[in-house]
Structure 1
Amino acid sequence: MRNKALTFSLFITFFAMHYSNAQDWANLKRYEKENAALVIPKASEKRVVFIGNSITEGWLRVHPSFFDGKPYVDRGISGQTTPQMLLRFRQDVINVKAAVVVILAGINDIAQNTGPMTVEETAGNIFSMAELARANGISVIICSVLPASDFPWRPGMDPGPKVVTLNAILNKYAKEHNIPFVDYYSSMVNESLGLKKELGDDGVHPNEKGYMIMEPIVEKAISKILKK
């Protein structure tokens, strides 16, 4: 019963997202008020913006203590794909005076939330976000896509191998461009190329245990950048 309720909830979220997208495809209004309320960072403050999808958006809800007392800004939007994030990158990352951006994106591209995409196209959008950031003096962290062996809202797509391929492309780009690559995947994958059962309830989104694995991994990368 719980799985049926979760699947129905995901369907409603997915439907609502697509209905609203007819008016605002990239959801540019989502953080309009929050962005306007952000003050200009002090010289000593290094603002870190997390951009992504529901995995990033859910981070603040599931484990808010990770953000408490830190100059961390969550700019995740549930259901989003990389072309949508690329469209809102200027207003949600550059214009809020980020010093560092943490990019975690791609799983919804594989799910075809906004239509068919190749992993190369997905990677290209992430590369474009990284290049926009660096052109504006923002340090970049590229994250591995989390493992998933199926999608509750779109079953039967066998995303596991595509996630492996995309992560390999992202890791190669990061190495070539001296960008930190945060590897969540290796600590969270099971023998079926999916998310470990104890780390998430639906096979895609982390629970509190999942986020507690992710947090020290990304904080290590953030710390290294800020020390420079």
Structure 2
Amino acid sequence: MTFPQLLRAALLLTGLLLSPTARAQQPTDADAKKAADEAYRQRQDYLLRNDWPNLQQYAAANQRLPAPRPGRPRVVIIGNSITEGWVKQDSAFFRGRAYEYVGRGIGGQASGQTVLRFRADVLDLHPAVVVMLVGTNDVAENNGPYNPQHTLNNIMTMCELARAHGIGVVLGAVAPSTDFWWHKGLNPAPKILALNERIEAYAAQQHFTYYDLHTALKDDQNGLKKAYGADGVHPNLAGYRAMEPLLNEAVARALKKK
């Protein structure tokens, strides 16, 4: 089955749950969650077998995106759910006048998947600067055991591609967290700190710009401040608002280095 067919099947299942002829009462929360979980599982299975980097996610949006306008540098932010959520939480920031921010985040992705879509979602959009916010899902072992060198290798590959195309680079720190609710017990805080040290050192060595959002968001345990996010991983609007002026400064520095 194709993904559209799987999605229709999941919607049909949900419809049956809601149908008064199928049940004498409204579905329970457990029924609804089961249907949603099944739809998500089917989607992930489809992507795994047909489009592991999820190139289809932004294919139509990339085609609609016009050429960059003179005087308003285009800045593509590529990453995971933290980037994807940013666009939804504070869309006004992405309509700002100084820079044309373009969000290209996909929830759940690790850096290996991001590498595979880097051409379609970054290079082909001809930005002046790319901001890379990756690493959280590597540490969370979404695609298998975490290997910090493999993560850094993926970051280095994307940086080299950007440099070859004359694109300025901003390397973002991995956001703070003391635990991942979908994969508990990994003790990510020290792993994130160590990875950020390596990202910052690589940025300094290669004369890229380092964007330290970790320090801006962390609490005393190197987790996400509760005021900046309820689930301990994803920033809320206040968290994004704390990140935004620092990003504007980092982009300005990256543009000067070009």
Q: Normalising to structure 1: TM-score of the pair?
A: 0.91
Q: Deviations over 1:53-103 (max 9, x none)?
A: 000000010111111144111000011100000000001000111110000
Residue 66 of structure 2 corresponds to 39
Q: Deviations over 1:171-202 (max 9, x none)?
A: 00000011110001112112222111111010
CA contact (8 A) 1:54 1:78 kept: yes
Instruction: Say yes or no: does 1:173 pair with 2:173.
Output: no
Query: What percent of counterpart residues are identical?
Result: 43
Offset of residue 226 of structure 1: 3.3
Instruction: Say yes or no: does 1:211 pair with 2:237.
Output: no
Whole-angstrom CA distance in 2 between matches of 1:139 and 1:17: 34
Structure 2 counterpart of 1:112, which letter?
E
Offset of residue 18 of structure 1: 2.8
Q: Deviations over 1:118-157 (max 9, x none)?
A: 1111111011111100011100000000101001111111
Offset of residue 42 of structure 1: 3.1
Offset of residue 17 of structure 1: 5.6
Instruction: Say yes or no: does 1:133 pair with 2:159.
Output: no
Residue 160 of structure 1 corresponds to 189
Offset of residue 116 of structure 1: 1.4
The 5 Å alignment of 1:112-151 reads: 112-151=141-180
Structure 1 counterpart of 2:80, which letter?
N
2:46 paired residue among 9, 12, 20: 20
CA contact (8 A) 2:168 2:255 kept: no
Whole-angstrom CA distance in 1 between matches of 2:248 and 2:71: 18
Question: 2:137 is paired with a residue of what secondary structure?
Answer: helix
Residue 10 of structure 2 corresponds to none
2:254 paired residue among 212, 219, 225: 225
Question: 1:168 is paired with a residue of what secondary structure?
Answer: helix
Instruction: Say yes or no: does 1:186 pair with 2:212.
Output: no
**Can you give the 5+ residue segments of structure 1 that lack an aligned partner in the other structure?**
none
**Comparing 63-72 with 146-155, which one deviates more in the overlay?**
63-72
Whole-angstrom CA distance in 1 between matches of 2:180 and 2:143: 15
1:48 paired residue among 54, 59, 75: 75
Instruction: Say yes or no: does 1:59 pair with 2:90.
Output: no
1:91 paired residue among 120, 126, 134: 120
Whole-angstrom CA distance in 2 between matches of 1:174 and 1:115: 26
Whole-angstrom CA distance in 2 between matches of 1:14 and 1:50: 25
**Can you give the 5+ residue segments of structure 2 that lack an aligned partner in the other structure?**
1-29
2:229 paired residue among 176, 179, 200: 200
Whole-angstrom CA distance in 2 between matches of 1:116 and 1:16: 23
**Comparing 40-49 with 181-190, which one deviates more in the overlay?**
40-49
CA contact (8 A) 1:17 1:79 kept: no
Looking at CA atoms only, which structure, 1 or 2, has the larger radius of gyration? 2
Whole-angstrom CA distance in 1 between matches of 2:41 and 2:56: 18
Question: 1:51 is paired with a residue of what secondary structure?
Answer: strand
Residue 103 of structure 2 corresponds to 74
Structure 2 counterpart of 1:20, which letter?
Y
Whole-angstrom CA distance in 1 between matches of 2:40 and 2:155: 23
CA RMSD of aligned residues (A): 1.9
Offset of residue 224 of structure 1: 2.6
